[in-house]
């Protein structure tokens, strides 16, 4: 990459005429040229290399996209609501977890509550043996394989495991995810495949198998089961889980119409890296959170100690899911 530094031009009145009432020198003018084009200064980046423009965009994102101030519990509760609206709900099946401040512990849902009932106040704090350290009720026993993934991947801080419709349908075909569209490139060469179903994931055997199958990838398609996303932040995991379900849906639609064509590897990797940045994850998550809050999920941010808290004892459906 060339060592080129671009700065935004200073603000000025681009519609003001040049001295003497004439247009700016060197700027096209005339009745066939729109007023905005006639009056703008020359751009500075139209001859820049693509790599320089990518670098410039990333640097601008650092200041243009603000960090959020939600707590881990709030982001986890919002993720549950976001994924509920995105079709990841399958009764009580699925777990969404995030590492807590204390080593060897993480937050998860209370068994008996659906994704649309999770709030920051009814999340549980559990240890690797799924003992409840804070909160009421119990965790889903299938959380055990989360403990194995966290142990195998110190870089992972949030795990999402769900059984959404299109991913579940794709998993029944015992075929890996195919990434053949630009929007899906965050998953390009970043989604592993567990091609045989090992049974209910409540034993240590499944924990070892799933964590090994995931390897160093951020996502995993589990045959006859569902999906797993494991990344460094809640925002990134939420964004990738939403995208994963869309990818499965597109694969099923495209496969029904014909043979899916491959995309060039170098371009796919470029798109993967372009979209797989913390700031992109923050921007996507902020949008999904605003949409969830507008849709009526404001109760997800009920703080601990509030009387308006869902509890599993009030839930009618207490059948657990994996």
pLDDT 10s digits, 104-151 = 999 999 999 999 999 999 999 999 999 999 999 999 999 999 999 999
Mean pLDDT of 27-46: 63
Packing angle between helix 50-64 and helix 278-294, nearest 10 degrees?
A: 50
Distances (CA, A) of 303 to 71, 74, 75, 170: 11, 9, 12, 38
Contact status, residue 27 vs residue 41, Cβ threshold 8 Å:
yes
- Reported as a single tens digit per residue, the pLDDT across 224-271 is 999 999 999 999 999 999 999 999 999 999 999 999 999 999 999 999
- Reported as a single tens digit per residue, the pLDDT across 60-110 is 999 999 889 999 999 999 999 999 999 999 999 999 999 999 999 999 999
Mean pLDDT of 12-38: 50
Q: Comparing 180 with 309, which gets the higher pLDDT?
A: 180
Q: How many C-beta neighbours within 10 Å does residue 175 have?
A: 14
pTM, 2 dp: 0.83
Q: Comparing 168 with 41, which gets the higher pLDDT?
A: 168
Q: Is the pLDDT of residue 280 over 60?
A: yes
| Bridge-based pairing state of the strands 219-222 and 226-231 | antiparallel
- Look over the chain and give the mean of its residue pLDDT values, rounded to a whole number: 87
**Residue 319: what pLDDT?**
41
């Amino acid at each position: 990459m060339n060592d080129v530094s671009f700065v935004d031009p200073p603000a000025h009145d681009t519609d003001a005429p040049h001295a003497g009432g004439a247009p700016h020198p060197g700027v096209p003018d005339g009745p066939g040229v729109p007023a905005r084009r006639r009056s703008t200064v020359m751009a500075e980046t139209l001859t820049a290399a693509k790599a320089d423009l990518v670098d410039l965009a990333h640097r601008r994102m650092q200041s243009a996209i603000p960090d959020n101030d939600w707590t881990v519990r709030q982001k986890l509760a919002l993720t549950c609501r976001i994924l509920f609206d995105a079709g990841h709900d399958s009764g009580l099946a699925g777990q969404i977890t995030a590492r807590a401040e204390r080593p060897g512990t993480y937050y998860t849902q209370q068994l008996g509550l659906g994704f649309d009932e999770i709030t920051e106040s009814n999340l549980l704090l559990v240890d690797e043996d799924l003992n409840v350290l804070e909160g009421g009720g119990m965790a889903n026993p299938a959380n055990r394989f989360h403990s194995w993934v966290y142990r195998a991947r110190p870089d992972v801080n949030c795990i999402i495991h769900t059984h959404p419709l299109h991913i579940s349908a794709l998993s029944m075909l015992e075929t890996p995810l195919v990434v053949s569209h630009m929007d899906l490139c965050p998953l390009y060469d970043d989604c592993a495949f567990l091609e045989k179903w090992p049974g209910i994931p409540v034993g240590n055997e499944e924990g070892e198998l799933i964590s090994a199958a995931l390897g160093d990838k951020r996502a995993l398609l589990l045959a006859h089961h569902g999906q797993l996303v494991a990344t460094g932040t809640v925002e990134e995991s939420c964004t990738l889980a939403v995208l994963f379900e869309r990818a499965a849906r597109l694969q099923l639609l495209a496969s029904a119409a014909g043979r899916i064509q491959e995309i060039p590897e170098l371009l796919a990797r470029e798109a993967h890296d372009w979209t797989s940045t913390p700031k992109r994850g923050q921007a996507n998550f902020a949008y999904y959170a605003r949409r969830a809050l507008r849709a009526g999920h404001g109760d997800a941010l009920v703080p601990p100690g509030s009387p308006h808290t869902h509890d599993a004892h009030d839930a009618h459906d207490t059948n657990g899911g994996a």
